[in-house]
Amino acid sequence: MIVPPGSVIGIVGGGQLGRMLSMAAARLGYRGHILDPHEHPPAADVAAFATRADFGDAAAIEAFGRVVDVATYEFENLPVGPLERLGDKLRPGTKSLAIAQDRAREKSFIEQCGGRVAPWREVSSLDDVRRAVEELGVPVVLKTRRYGYDGKGQAWIRSAGDAESAWAAIAEEPAVAEAGVDFQAEFSVILARWADGPHAFWDSPENEHREGILRRSTVPCSERIAPQVAEAREAALRIAEALGHVGVLTVEFFAGESGPVINEIAPRVHNSGHWTIEGAVTSQFEQHIRAICGLPPGSTALTVTSATMDNLIGEDVNDWPQLVAEEGARLHLYGKHEARPGRKMGHVTRVSRRA
């Protein structure tokens, strides 16, 4: 089914990803409609329509479904049930969401698809945590099954004596205990998939995190990663196909000593793909719109020799006067009013071209 330009694209979630999706949609002549519970979500500034409603409000989501031509979501901490009301209009579907939002289901699913993950255990009591530490050895990281992002909902166990405080630190929520991976570098595979099968990959960025938050993505990736990209792409595509995923899918990897290890999947455009706006013929945002609307794939070729994307986190955003004055720096601000610590306020991309 083709959803032609002029149609309304519903976006559940009004953060910066929804904002950049809505801008890409507008360039192709679509109108965005944002559904979000907040008063001034960043995406609503750049969309034709906005509905303020809780993500769990099934009646509101059903009404939203009647006024949009196709719908998508821009983050994964959403109740799945109400979104079922969107039926076939929702792309990707709820399977991608249900699996990606629960770390235990996610890891089992990846393993079923033949992907490698760090050794892990499901834990729901302090005894489980202690047993997991005995079996996996230290270090181990506890991650809540649900609602984690930007390193939230995680606690490290570096010696057996940390088990109790780590379990308390994640508020005794159902979790996974995961062996620490001694990685050389991190990277992601970002792909888009169409309902009738075609897919496209971008170059894989090398990702640097600090305190669990992405700080920088760079393409091309270094030689620590490059030899692992082909295998990582195969694993990512098997996951996308098993999900019946439509749209952009991101798979985060550790480049391990003996090959790529999957960290997690995001059923959506991703922070590590923001460089595609300046660095690729078709950005991840435009490609997601193309895929969910049934338009043909755009080229994912690089238009630059290299690109570096730096996040502006919290007070970093106060550097905007220098950044906006810097020749060649492409500044993106998300229109968030308050620069709370750890909050993603914007990003800046710098590219280089062959002389």
Please pick, from the candidates 102, 162, 186, 286, the single residue that binds ligand ADP as defined by CB under 6 A. 186
Q: Does 162 bind ligand ADP (CB under 6 A)?
A: no
Mask for 64-103, x = binds ligand ADP (CB under 6 A): ----------------------------------------
Q: Are 230 and 241 in contact (CB under 8 A)?
A: no
Please pick, from the candidates 1, 87, 149, 241, the single residue that binds ligand ADP as defined by CB under 6 A. 149
Q: Which of 347, 315, 352 is nearest to 331 (CA)?
A: 347
Which one of the spans 147-155, 221-229, 281-289, 302-310 is the region binding ligand ADP (CB under 6 A)?
147-155
Instruction: Give 25 or 345: the residue with its C-beta nearer to ligand ADP.
Output: 345
- Distance between first and last Cα of the chain: 43
Query: What does the CA dihedral 307, 96, 237, 285 come to, rounded to 10 degrees?
Result: -30
CB of 83 to ligand ADP, least distance (A): 20
Residues 103 to 122 in contact with ligand ADP, rule: CB under 6 A: 118
Q: Are 273 and 202 in contact (CB under 8 A)?
A: yes
DSSP 8-state code for residue 273: G
**How far is residue 162's CA from residue 140's CA, in Å, rounded to a whole number?**
10
Please pick, from the candidates 74, 178, 203, 286, the single residue that binds ligand ADP as defined by CB under 6 A. 178
Amino acid identity at 304: V
Which one of the spans 54-62, 173-181, 270-278, 338-346 is the region binding ligand ADP (CB under 6 A)?
173-181
Side-chain-side CA neighbours of residue 134 (13 Å): 7
**How far is residue 306's CA from residue 86's CA, in Å, rounded to a whole number?**
40
Q: Are 308 and 218 in contact (CB under 8 A)?
A: yes
Q: Does 263 bind ligand ADP (CB under 6 A)?
A: yes
CB of 27 to ligand ADP, least distance (A): 29
Which one of the spans 85-93, 143-151, 218-226, 283-291 is the region binding ligand ADP (CB under 6 A)?
143-151
Please pick, from the candidates 65, 180, 256, 294, the single residue that binds ligand ADP as defined by CB under 6 A. 180
**How far is residue 25's CA from residue 49's CA, in Å, rounded to a whole number?**
13
Q: Which of 279, 261, 283, 270 is nearest to 330 (CA)?
A: 279
Buried b (16+ CB within 10 A) or exposed e, 254-287: bbbeeebbbbbbbbbbbbbbbbbbbbbebbbbbb
Question: Count residues contacting ligand ADP (CB under 6 A)?
Answer: 16
Q: Does 264 bind ligand ADP (CB under 6 A)?
A: yes
CB of 255 to ligand ADP, least distance (A): 12
Please pick, from the candidates 74, 102, 252, 286, the single residue that binds ligand ADP as defined by CB under 6 A. 252
CB of 29 to ligand ADP, least distance (A): 34
Instruction: Give 47 or 100: the residue with its C-beta nearer to ligand ADP.
Output: 100
Chain contacts with ligand ADP (rule: CB under 6 A): 118, 141, 143, 148-151, 178, 180-181, 186, 209, 212, 252, 263-264
